[in-house]
Amino acid sequence: MQKKYLLAPGPTAVPPEILLAMAQPMVHHRSKDFEPIVASVKEDLKWLFQTSQDVMILASSGTGGMESAIANVLSPGDRVIAINGGKFGERWVKMCQAYGLNVDEVKVEWGQAVDPAAIEQRLKREPARAVFVQASESSTGVAHDVKTLGAMVRNHPNTLLVVDAVSAMGVFDLKTDEWGLDVVVTGSQKALMLPPGLAFVSLSEKAWGMAEKATLPKFYFNLKRERDNIRKNTTAYTPAISLIIGLQKAFELLKPEGLDGIFARHRRLARATREAMKADGLELFAKTSPSDALTAVKTPEGVDAEAVYKALRDRYGITTAGGQDHLKGKIFRISHMGYADTFDVITAVAAVEMVLKGMGHAVTLGKGVGVAQEILLAK
């Protein structure tokens, strides 16, 4: 028997309470067994998103939610700016291209956050219908400054800020309304501690205004139809019922902690991990603005990060994530999202030290662990 730990940046571990809630007998979605659940989670989603707007629930993974953001507010040929500082930024670019948009791609070095001033300059030079960005770029562990971008884009009446918050929502502060985040997308399998299969999307009034004129084709991801339905505690098409039942339970677990408590927990876990890794002589991949969702760790010269990832998995039953594309073999990534606490950090740090030692790398066992303990004790 090997005990298993899921510390990958999505899907994340699902609490037993949620697994059991989802194991209840199936109910019909157009019924009194289910509509009150939608009525309850739709309010909780507004709390999570910090918005007074409707939050739509889609049966899809986060990528489907991202697609709905494009298809509902834009028209063929629209000029858009897509910030590409990692695998998911690249996805915005490819998606916008697939939809026949005129994409101005802003390449940001992986491991760096975008400079909002550079976006402002581009917007002033040539207007764009939308700016696409990740609040947290899971491939690099970097958080882009969506607050500053929001304040900036707000001054452009015909430009929307579209935020991929898949690995950010419920991790750190995202004031959808206050910061002017026009379209915000998240998924079920990160901080919400659910299996993958649900996406959630909010639109600002400005975004709904643009949606009126948007002509890109959409049907399954028609957000206006979803808005009409969610207001009646239902969805346009058959929802992923068991996952929504799980969502209700997730909110039961999360709400007593409060948003501030949830953000503080993620901040503490992430900081403890970062400082522990540094104490162990490892470098963080995020040069600036590390995301509290996950920590991307560079392995020293001569130490293959893939080998670390595999040793964590095979020797210790701990699933983290490796690097993607050109980062393969260079970094491994540890998640702090969702159902995670103090001893997930201790476990991860201790295991990394033991794996490195086992690979013959000079590391003082317990050094990083001690640093993490110090930070976690302080709360």
Site residues for a copy of itself per CB under 8 A: 4, 6, 8, 10-14, 19-20, 22-29, 31, 59-64, 66-67, 94-95, 98-100, 187, 189, 195-197, 216-222, 237-243, 313, 319
Shortest Å distance, C-beta 64 to a copy of itself: 5
Nearer to a copy of itself, 54 or 226 (CB): 226
Query: Which CB atom, from 188 or from 299, has the smaller least distance to a copy of itself?
Result: 188
Please, what is the minimum distance in Å from the beta carbon of residue 311 to a copy of itself? Answer: 15
The Cα 146–Cα 149 span in angstroms is: 5
Q: What is the closest distance, in whole angstroms, from the C-beta atom of residue 177 to a copy of itself in the complex?
A: 27
Least gap, CB of 70 to a copy of itself (angstroms): 8
Shortest Cβ 28–a copy of itself spacing (Å): 5
Cβ-based nearer residue to a copy of itself, 276 or 348 = 348
CB of 100 to a copy of itself, least distance (A): 6
Q: Burial level of 210, CB count in 10 A (0-12/13-18/19+)?
A: buried
CB of 52 or CB of 215, closer to a copy of itself: 215
The residue (of 76 and 258) whose beta carbon lies closer to a copy of itself is 76
Nearer to a copy of itself, 250 or 369 (CB): 250
